[in-house]
């Protein structure tokens, strides 16, 4: 590991998931323009998220991170963004009720435009082209022009991220997230859901409690009219991340101001690699996806590099093993964290390890497998006196059919009805709400510590 760091010191390190831009001059021009644009987020927001993640680490909050597998430019619409907010607000309301904890809301949006791939090349009919890597990098159609990485897409992605974040802030500041009016978050198709009555009972209980306390105190709880929403994305394309990395007045260090919470994927966490080199130098809280190949020694070394001060809220470990492997993989890593006294925020991603490929070539996930991995995660952390601080889901507020199972019992034949994802399957609105209800019930049953709401 290099002793000195700069936003571009990663360039001298080996890189996993490389992106080959054939036109170096066009890339340089795009990055120069990107670096001159105003940031998407502020250092104050980044530091506030770090504080809230530290609270979650201490059991005083619970992290809900969710959104699209990979955003698309076509989904940068008011309806699509609003529906994502609605389902995240509904889920967080259920979690507040069930856990008696504040919820830290982190969206996989306003920048989740790139995805790693297990194969960097795709072959069809004897022709091999770069795999589709998300709209930040290339385009979906299987042509040389579309699959060649295009630097101008970096600017388009930045602009769409700005539009998304601007709309989210406008909604939140305008009272869309007001706890006094959860009816703002209604999704018309939710009326058909098996969970709608349970959700309504929770909503009614919370709203009545708020009204009761306001009545007897004679004061309106104005802070309930607004909530924090933070952004996150995988920092896969390092030129994009570097272009928005800068120093800010009256603060030490460098901040990635393209997002509040960037994370490193399971495929790019090589200790001497470019991604770790870049991430070690920024002040943002950072996440690392932890898969079955992670060893205790690697985890120890990664923590020492990414969080050398061992500061609370700085480093989040997002484990993703699969229902069949979590019992073998997670206990040893928890033991490593405890043995070395590492300060980490544990989050469970029960989606990625449970992806299956059907004979038809369609990717899906079984809701029962997702529930099983999440349940085992709670059991394992509890059994080792560790704390599961949050969850990480790929989900949408739309009525899609991408994951099988759930209360509606979606089967393989239902997937073709409304399968929209370009990369990985997401929970639909109903499955996401069912997941929130499961988490709330599970944590309440376990006698979860009551924290500050």
Domains and CATH numbers, the chain: 9-118+150-444 (3.20.20.70)
First to last CA, the chain: 41
3-state helix/strand/coil string of 164-180: HHHHHHHHHHCCCCCCC
pLDDT at 449: 46
* Contact indicator for 113, 233 with CB cutoff of 8 Å: yes
Beta strands in 68-115 (DSSP E): 102-108
pLDDT at 55: 97
Q: How far is CA 271 from CA 10, 37, 167, 452, in A?
A: 12, 31, 38, 37
pTM: 0.91
* Contact indicator for 131, 122 with CB cutoff of 8 Å: yes
The rounded radius of gyration (Å) of the Cα atoms in the chain is 21
pLDDT at 404: 96
pLDDT at 225: 47
From first to last of the 453 residues of the chain, give the pLDDT tens digit.
557 999 999 999 999 999 999 999 999 999 999 999 999 999 999 999 999 999 999 999 999 999 999 999 999 999 999 989 888 988 888 888 888 889 999 999 999 999 999 899 999 999 999 999 999 999 999 999 999 999 999 999 999 999 999 999 998 888 787 766 676 666 555 555 666 677 777 777 766 666 655 556 565 555 444 678 999 999 999 999 999 999 999 999 999 999 999 999 999 999 999 999 999 999 999 999 999 999 999 999 999 999 999 999 999 999 999 999 999 999 999 999 999 999 999 999 999 999 999 988 899 999 999 999 999 999 999 999 999 999 999 999 888 999 999 988 899 999 999 999 888 999 998 899 889 889 988 888 766 543 333
Euclidean distance between CA atoms 123 and 418, whole angstroms: 26
pLDDT at 216: 64
Q: Which of 243, 239, 282, 244 is nearest to 263 (CA)?
A: 282
């Amino acid at each position: 590991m290099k002793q000195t760091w700069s936003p571009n010191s990663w360039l001298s390190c080996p890189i996993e998931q490389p992106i080959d831009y054939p036109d170096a001059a066009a890339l340089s021009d795009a990055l120069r323009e990107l670096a001159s644009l105003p940031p998407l987020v502020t250092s104050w927001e980044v530091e506030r998220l770090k504080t809230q993640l530290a609270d979650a680490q201490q059991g005083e909050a619970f992290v809900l991170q969710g959104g699209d597998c990979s955003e698309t430019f076509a989904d940068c619409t008011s309806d699509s963004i609003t529906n994502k907010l609605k389902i995240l607000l509904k889920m967080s309301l259920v979690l507040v009720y069930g856990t008696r904890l504040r919820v830290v809301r982190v969206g996989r949006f306003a920048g989740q435009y790139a995805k790693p791939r297990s194969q960097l090349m795709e072959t069809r009919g004897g022709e091999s082209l770069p795999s589709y890597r998300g709209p930040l990098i290339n385009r979906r159609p299987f042509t040389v022009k579309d699959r060649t990485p295009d630097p101008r897409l970096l600017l388009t992605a930045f602009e769409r991220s700005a539009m998304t974040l601007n709309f989210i802030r406008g909604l939140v500041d305008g009272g869309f997230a007001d706890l006094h009016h959860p009816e703002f978050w209604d999704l018309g198709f939710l009326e058909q859901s098996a969970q709608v009555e349970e959700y309504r009972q929770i909503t009614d209980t919370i709203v009545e409690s708020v009204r009761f306390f306001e009545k007897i105190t004679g004061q309106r709880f104005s802070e309930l009219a607004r909530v924090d929403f933070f952004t996150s994305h995988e920092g896969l394309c390092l030129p994009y991340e570097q272009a928005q990395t800068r120093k800010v007045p009256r603060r030490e260090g460098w901040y990635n101001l393209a997002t509040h919470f960037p994370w490193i994927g399971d495929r790019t966490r090589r200790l001497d690699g470019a991604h770790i080199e870049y991430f070690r130098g920024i002040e943002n809280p950072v996440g690392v996806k932890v898969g079955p190949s992670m060893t205790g020694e690697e985890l120890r070394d990664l923590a020492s590099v990414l969080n050398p001060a061992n500061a609370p809220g700085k480093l989040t470990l997002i484990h993703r093993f699969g229902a069949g492997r979590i019992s073998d993989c997670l206990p040893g890593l928890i033991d490593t964290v405890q043995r070395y006294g590492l300060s980490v925020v544990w989050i469970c991603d029960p989606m990625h390890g449970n992806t299956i490929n059907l004979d038809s070539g369609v990717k899906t996930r079984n809701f029962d497998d997702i529930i099983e991995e999440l349940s085992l995660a709670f059991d394992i952390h509890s059994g080792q006196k560790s704390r599961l601080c949050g969850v990480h889901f790929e989900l949408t507020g739309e009525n899609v059919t991408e994951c099988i199972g759930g209360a509606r019992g979606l089967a393989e034949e239902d997937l073709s009805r409304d399968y929209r994802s370009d990369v990985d399957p997401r929970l639909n609105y109903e499955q996401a709400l069912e997941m929130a209800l499961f988490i709330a019930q599970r944590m309440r049953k376990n006698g979860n510590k009551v924290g500050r709401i």
